[in-house]
Amino acid sequence: MKLSNCCCHTGPPDPKRHVADLPVAPRVNARIRFSSTNPAPVRHISPQEALEQVTTLLEQGTAIERIGISGPGDPLAFIEPTLEALTLIHERFPAIPLSIKTLGIGGEMYADRLFKAGVSHADLIINGVTEDILEKLYAWIRPGFKTIRLPDAAKILLAEQKKAVRAFKDAGMSVSIITTVYPENNADQVESIARLTAELGADSMVLIPYLPEEGAEMNLEPPDQALMNRLLKSASRYLAVSEQEPATCSGTDQEIVAGLPKPTKQRPNVAVVSSDGIDVDLHLGEAIRMLIYGPREDGLACLLESRPAPEPGGGGSRWEALAGVLPDCFALLAASAGDNPRKILGQHGIKVLITDDTIEGTVDALYGGGRKNKKGRKERH
């Protein structure tokens, strides 16, 4: 969990009020071109773990102003754990407001269910209102479970975000627009974003100045304060607007959770489920084979072999059998997995990690590798 000072949507953080951001959402559905191409792998927590963490904080006397689902992926990209966590927390602590931070894909579909689960506020990440700008900003967007052509995905994202603002408002939520200012890319669209979303019913807007990120495929010069002041003034014609530092309102795909497993002498390898041998893109239950990665003699991690997975069916016995297939693995990478296999494999020393990243980048990060340049060689620092 990430605990931070409360970011009032039209003002500075309040040190006496805290927001508890829960990393319940497992699936990342977009990546900005200016973010790291080799992020550290992330671990999401189960809905029950989320409830337990909130309960512990409150028992310790922490004043929680709001609880948000804001990472490590998008709360709407895989809705069931999001709804389960929200429902559990709302039933236990009905007086604490709940919120989500999302790109908005699926917002119209899920708005009523989210409101019934206790969500009173939505932070909607909107960085552009034309397809050409989104194509400049995003490396990829996944409206569903597969990456599609960026022009097609950008068109879907624009339509989904407009519908999400209206749907969230109609359901009874307040809506704040979160826009990161990328100089020479979307700065000229900030006023248009404010005007359009105000017309759709948004209540407020937060502008975040871009900061260069280590490991990004390209970097920009951060916006100066003169530009930010100009954009704040123009956006304020339509919405209550404030500026916040990147660390206080980071994107949903940037939240990193500590506690990643480490290789041991008995378990030096990692199992991966993948349809193409490049991306971690399968639900664990769909896997018919396990790709096994581990260190070579020179210490670099690489593909060692492929092993067949147990046949589907059999309930918990299938996951017991899978644990037997992976006696040398300390972790298993999948795009999603149920609580039962995660629990059973965990009892056998195999941590299930949920990620949508490439195999190479995630495996490299698990073994403590450095960021890679475009030629694939590790950078020296």
**CATH number of 329's domain:** 3.30.420.130
Q: Establish if 142 belongs to a structural domain.
A: yes
List b or e across 44-79, with b for residues whose CB sees 16 or more CB atoms inside 10 angstroms: bbbbeebbebbeebeeeeeebbbbbbbbbbbbbbbb
**246, amino acid identity:** P
Between these two residues, 261 and 183, which has the higher pLDDT value? 183
Given this model, what pLDDT does residue 99 score? 96
Where is average pLDDT lowest: 132-146, 199-213, 238-252? 238-252
Q: Which residues are CB-contacts of 234 (< 8 A; sequence separation ≥ 6)? A: 190, 191, 194
Per the structure, the complete domain to which residue 127 belongs is given by 2-254
- pLDDT over 90, % of the chain: 60
Q: Establish if 352 belongs to a structural domain.
A: yes
**56, amino acid identity:** T
- This prediction has a pTM of 0.68
- pLDDT over 70, % of the chain: 86
How confident is residue 42, by pLDDT bands cut at 50, 70 and 90? low
Question: What's the sign of the alpha-carbon dihedral 74, 77, 82, 83?
Answer: positive
- How far is Cα 320 from Cα 17, in angstroms, rounded to an integer? 45
Residue at a domain's end among 254, 284, 299: 254
Given this model, what pLDDT does residue 7 score? 47
Pairing of strands 301-308, 138-141: unpaired
- How far is Cα 42 from Cα 63, in angstroms, rounded to an integer? 27
Given this model, what pLDDT does residue 41 score? 58
Residue 298 scores a pLDDT above 90: no
Q: What is the mean pLDDT of the chain?
A: 86
C-alpha dihedral (48, 54, 60, 65), degrees to nearest 10: -170
Residue at a domain's end among 203, 221, 254: 254
Between these two residues, 235 and 369, which has the higher pLDDT value? 235
The answer to whether residues 68 and 136 belong to one domain is yes
**Which of 257, 273, 287, 253 is CA-nearest to residue 363?**
273
Given this model, what pLDDT does residue 1 score? 58
The answer to whether residues 205 and 284 belong to one domain is no
Q: Establish if 125 belongs to a structural domain.
A: yes
Q: Is the peptide bond before 327 cis (omega within 30 degrees of 0)?
A: no
List b or e across 261-287, with b for residues whose CB sees 16 or more CB atoms inside 10 angstroms: bebeeebebbbbbbeeeebbbbebbeb
The answer to whether residues 146 and 13 belong to one domain is yes
The number of residues making up the chain comes to 381
The answer to whether residues 278 and 219 belong to one domain is no
The answer to whether residues 216 and 330 belong to one domain is no
The answer to whether residues 209 and 300 belong to one domain is no
- Look up the CATH number of the domain holding residue 172: 3.20.20.70
Between these two residues, 353 and 162, which has the higher pLDDT value? 162
What are the strands, taking DSSP E only, across 153-300? 174-181, 204-209, 240-243, 269-272, 289-295
The answer to whether residues 230 and 337 belong to one domain is no
**Which of 177, 329, 150 is CA-nearest to residue 241?**
177
The answer to whether residues 107 and 212 belong to one domain is yes
SS percent in the chain: helix, strand, coil, step 5: 35, 25, 40
Residue 253 scores a pLDDT above 50: no
- How far is Cα 144 from Cα 157, in angstroms, rounded to an integer? 11
The answer to whether residues 158 and 283 belong to one domain is no
* Segment 313-336, tens digit of pLDDT: 878 899 999 999 999 999 999 988
What are the strands, taking DSSP E only, across the chain? 2-7, 13-22, 30-32, 64-69, 98-102, 119-125, 138-141, 174-181, 204-209, 240-243, 269-272, 289-295, 301-308, 329-334, 351-354
Q: Establish if 261 belongs to a structural domain.
A: no
Given this model, what pLDDT does residue 329 score? 97
Residue at a domain's end among 219, 254, 289: 254
Section 222-236 average pLDDT: 95
DSSP 224-253: PHHHHHHHHHHHTTTSEEEE--GGGS--GG
Q: Establish if 288 belongs to a structural domain.
A: yes
Q: Establish if 376 belongs to a structural domain.
A: no
The answer to whether residues 168 and 136 belong to one domain is yes
Section 181-192 average pLDDT: 96
How many structural domains is the chain composed of?
A: 2
Question: First-to-last CA distance in the chain?
Answer: 30
Q: Establish if 32 belongs to a structural domain.
A: yes
